[in-house]
Structure 1
Amino acid sequence: MIKALPKLTRYVVAGLGPISGAVAQFVLSLLLLRLLTPGEFGSFSFLLTTSFFTAGIWSALFCAPLPALLNNAGPEERERLVRCIFGVNLLAAMIAFPLIAGLGLALGLPMAPALLFAGYAVAFLLRWFARAYAYATGNRLRTMASDLTYSSTLLLGIGTLAYLDITSLVLAYTILLVSVVAGLLPFGAAYLKRQFTSFHPSAFAEYIPIWKSHSGWSLMGIITTEATVNSHVYIVTAVAGPAAYAPIAATALMIRPIGVLQNALVEYERAHMAMDLAAGHVERVFKTARQFRWMLLAVLLGTAAAVAGMFLFAPNLVFPPTYPLATMATGSALWMCVAGLRLIRAPEATMLQAGGAFRRLAWASAGSCGFSIATVFLLLFLVGPLWSIGGIILGETAFCIWIVRQSLRWRAEVRGKATNAASEVLAPS
């Protein structure tokens, strides 16, 4: 038990900030669930999902390759890589703004909330990269300070909305934008100056090798993973409309704490695993993966118990009476199955990312996304939108099997390399 305390402390440091941010977003979603119509809430949830998807794209293009690149480069090459990634990251954020604003307009949002959400989404991407860079360079306290600043500012804004009983998407998106901009400040003036002044024409040429060796495969993995885990979001919204998606989005809130903690620990452990692999500490990486899985299992069981207790003793605590209780209970149970499958694959996928095995991950998600898309379509037309979550369960099952198989092969290869390296060191000259 004593030996577990340092690891637990690391998880508290890694999870405290993201969990506080998740609590703030969770409270905002609950508030809007009660104040908005199902159609408006469905649109809000759809846009939030797309912002998380763009964060996944950022992880693929810029965040995930960082630990492997920085831990395998000399000082001069490291500086060149950092300058390149900072520059391309800024330009990509500028391109993302009109695309996200256009999506908001396509969903029927007025111009003001569409622009505000696009501003929030772009600032969110820049903060997401800043968090990953801080982890990769060992400045995890800056990441925690950023998360706590973001969450406290957001909670203050939400409290103001609730106190004044204001139903306004403009104010909701304004609060999100102000909060994420405030969350950038703890990274410091030097970091922000570098982020906003690093662009140079040669960045594209310097990024091409990173794209070929890491980011391209990682992006393929992110896109096919999104198709595996969130195809129902896009299919249901496109076919049946935002109002039909609203109950799915509402019940998905029940596993939001699990997903946020899992993502936070992935960002944290990926950097540590990459450092351990670079130092040759292979067994330490495998041990970290086991501890990671036990932590996620504890969170899953705790969340499931809390949700079950809510339905038994306070069924309208979260969901307003306009949403049928049986529908909410069914959706929540389906989402818990999804969370359990994600728990199994998360540590294995994190190890593969830390080891730069992005191609393996890409093929694993590519092989599973078809199951999700086909089954979501089938269930949507046969039994309705809510049961389309079953398509996600099937896709996650296939994804989990592929990831575990790839991880076992990778583990054997890494162990073999470590054994050979040790034999060469011990061999007589």
Structure 2
Amino acid sequence: MRRSILYSVLDQAALSAFNFALAFALIRIWSDNPEVFGIYSMVFAGSLALISVQNALINAQFTILRPKATSESDESTLLSMFWTVNVAVVFCAMLLMFASILATGGDLALAASAAAYVGATLLREYTRSHHFSDMNVLAVLALDGVSLAISIGLFAAAYAFGPPLGLPILFAILAAGLLIASGLAIRMHRQHYRILADRETVAFYRAVWRKHSFWALMGVLTSEFQQRGYVFVVAAAFGAGSVALIQAAALLFRPIQLVTHAWGKLARAVLADHLARGDVARARAFTLQSFAVLGALFLAFSAALALGWPFISDVLFRGRYTDLGAIVVLWGIAAAVIMSTGIFSLEVQTLMRFRELSFGAALGALVCAVVLAAVVLFGDFRASVLAVIGGQLAFFAVVLCLLPKTKPRFAAKIGPAPELRTKGAPPSPLERGVAEP
């Protein structure tokens, strides 16, 4: 476990450093045209939102159900079923991004490259979840290293020999690295990446959708509105330049968000194992230990950010993004609440209580919408971060109420499957893995 955690930290540190450096490089490159960085921020925010949708429909489900497979054949069938659904989700996400950019006045090259980037991101996220669910974190580290090396090499070549960096070239480079890494991951476990389009697959996923994925999706949509809805509201009401300013401050805390996301990949498998055995107390201890460690990391990071603010403001932002100080403080509060909500909600998710979580997320989205309406009414886009804070605080309060008591009785939530088989036929191990909510 310690080695897996070390590999996960190294992997996320590398991804965080790359995304952090890339964002600041883009701010400097496009310092005279912040609207371009605003468009990049909107595409990036859209990709993160689509990853959350993918997690609700697929990744979270197979990570929790995979430990219940009792043979390699059952495991292969289970994962191939989810891979089939994932292919459809990736295709729909690419079409959505392509159509959205064309509908908002973007050109064909930008729409195609952004769609390719979104599709590649979802493919890589699926393969990462596959390895995390098997606790094979070293494979994640190696393949993410390949992706980063390819992207960095292509950026260097584009800088040395290509035209000035534009959005189509940027998204094409990022997509190339992600696609190659995903291809390598798929080749390593080809038996888990078959397309299954038979009645059994449809019936199996219909049961997963009815019992879990639908409610998880509802929760994700409302939660995503809390965390990233401000991007599109600010863009519509105040323009892409305002988005650039808000996102320039937000990116300072992106490493913390990425580390929490990486922790979730590993923690989901650990919690699923504990709760499958009915050991709620051990699962809670793991959650609290994670909160303590990630909380200490957040405090250390915030202290370093405060000490280095003069350098960040004068050198990295070149003084182009004024009045960032107050927004950065607000984002610090927002990042702390988002991190706390993410840590504790994972335990509730692992118990498959997606329906209850969706109601909590809806409450948070309502609070967020009210604050955003006030922001638009009063005309101060900087206050949009308050919408994130308010929505997440409301959601966090609900999550705390949903946490199970540390008694084994909650283990029954991971009990027998709904009826998926023909009458009189014995249940398969896969069917026994689909839990009642």
Calculate the TM-score normalised by the size of structure 1. Answer: 0.89
Q: Which residue is equivalent to 1:422?
A: none
Deviation, structure 1 residue 311: 1.9
Q: Deviations over 1:129-162 (max 9, x none)?
A: 1111222223222222222222222233334455
| 1:118 maps onto 2:115 in alignment | yes
Among candidates 3, 11, 24, match of residue 17 of structure 1: 11
Q: Which residue is equivalent to 1:137?
A: 134
| 1:276–1:35 distance in 2 versus 1, CA, 3 Å | same
- Partner amino acid for 1:247? L
Deviation, structure 1 residue 358: 1.5
| 2-structure distance, mates of 1:126, 1:367 | 31
Deviation, structure 1 residue 12: 2.3
Among candidates 287, 296, 299, match of residue 298 of structure 1: 296
Is 1:145–1:186's contact at 8 Å kept on the other side of the alignment?
no
| 2-structure distance, mates of 1:380, 1:194 | 48
Q: Which residue is equivalent to 1:277?
A: 275
Is 1:266–1:350's contact at 8 Å kept on the other side of the alignment?
yes
Q: Which residue is equivalent to 1:30?
A: 24
Q: Which residue is equivalent to 2:324?
A: 328
Q: What pairs up with 1:48-127 in 2 under 5 angstroms?
A: 48-75=44-71, 77-127=74-124
Is 2:4–2:136's contact at 8 Å kept on the other side of the alignment?
no
| 1:152 maps onto 2:146 in alignment | no
The runs of 5 or more residues in structure 1 that have no matched partner are 1-5, 420-429
| 1:340 maps onto 2:336 in alignment | yes
- Partner amino acid for 1:15? V
Q: Which residue is equivalent to 2:421?
A: none
Q: What pairs up with 1:418-429 in 2 under 5 angstroms?
A: none
Q: Structure 1 vs Structure 2: percent identity of aligned residues?
A: 23
Deviation, structure 1 residue 411: 2.7
- Range 184-193 or range 200-209, more displaced: 184-193
Among candidates 364, 368, 373, match of residue 369 of structure 2: 373
- Partner amino acid for 2:20? F
| 1:174–1:417 distance in 2 versus 1, CA, 3 Å | closer
Question: Equivalent residue of 1:316, what SS?
Answer: helix
Is 2:124–2:178's contact at 8 Å kept on the other side of the alignment?
yes
Question: Equivalent residue of 1:183, what SS?
Answer: helix
Is 2:337–2:393's contact at 8 Å kept on the other side of the alignment?
yes
| 1:313–1:30 distance in 2 versus 1, CA, 3 Å | closer
| 1:246 maps onto 2:265 in alignment | no
| 1:381–1:19 distance in 2 versus 1, CA, 3 Å | farther
| 1:312 maps onto 2:306 in alignment | no
Deviation, structure 1 residue 314: 4.8
Is 1:270–1:350's contact at 8 Å kept on the other side of the alignment?
yes
Question: Equivalent residue of 2:266, what SS?
Answer: helix
Question: Equivalent residue of 2:189, what SS?
Answer: helix
| 2-structure distance, mates of 1:128, 1:220 | 20
Deviation, structure 1 residue 105: 2.1
Is 2:64–2:268's contact at 8 Å kept on the other side of the alignment?
no
Deviation, structure 1 residue 77: 4.9
| 1:97–1:48 distance in 2 versus 1, CA, 3 Å | same
- Partner amino acid for 1:353? Q
Deviation, structure 1 residue 221: 0.9
| 1:171 maps onto 2:165 in alignment | no
| 2-structure distance, mates of 1:318, 1:270 | 36
- Partner amino acid for 1:20? A
Q: Which residue is equivalent to 2:415?
A: none
| 2-structure distance, mates of 1:304, 1:359 | 34
- Partner amino acid for 1:352? V
| 2-structure distance, mates of 1:418, 1:52 | 32
Calculate the TM-score normalised by the size of structure 2. Answer: 0.87
Question: Equivalent residue of 2:405, what SS?
Answer: helix
Is 1:247–1:328's contact at 8 Å kept on the other side of the alignment?
yes
| 1:394 maps onto 2:386 in alignment | no
Question: Equivalent residue of 1:166, what SS?
Answer: coil
Question: Equivalent residue of 2:365, what SS?
Answer: helix
Is 1:224–1:366's contact at 8 Å kept on the other side of the alignment?
yes
| 1:162–1:317 distance in 2 versus 1, CA, 3 Å | farther
- Partner amino acid for 2:216? S
Deviation, structure 1 residue 188: 4.7
Deviation, structure 1 residue 192: 5.1
| 2-structure distance, mates of 1:10, 1:60 | 24
Is 1:146–1:185's contact at 8 Å kept on the other side of the alignment?
no
* Alpha-carbon RMSD: 2.2
Is 1:67–1:354's contact at 8 Å kept on the other side of the alignment?
no
Deviation, structure 1 residue 243: 1.5
Among candidates 200, 211, 214, match of residue 212 of structure 2: 214
Deviation, structure 1 residue 190: 4.6
Is 1:42–1:246's contact at 8 Å kept on the other side of the alignment?
yes
| 2-structure distance, mates of 1:162, 1:307 | 29
| 2-structure distance, mates of 1:82, 1:166 | 43
| 2-structure distance, mates of 1:316, 1:131 | 37
The runs of 5 or more residues in structure 2 that have no matched partner are 413-437
| 1:383–1:296 distance in 2 versus 1, CA, 3 Å | farther
Is 1:24–1:154's contact at 8 Å kept on the other side of the alignment?
no
- Range 201-210 or range 214-223, more displaced: 201-210
Q: Deviations over 1:51-107 (max 9, x none)?
A: 010000000000011132222344365443322211111122122222111122234
| 1-structure distance, mates of 2:63, 2:180 | 26
The number of equivalent residue pairs is 407
| 2-structure distance, mates of 1:119, 1:295 | 36
| 2-structure distance, mates of 1:280, 1:119 | 42
Question: Equivalent residue of 2:253, what SS?
Answer: helix
Among candidates 347, 358, 361, match of residue 362 of structure 1: 358
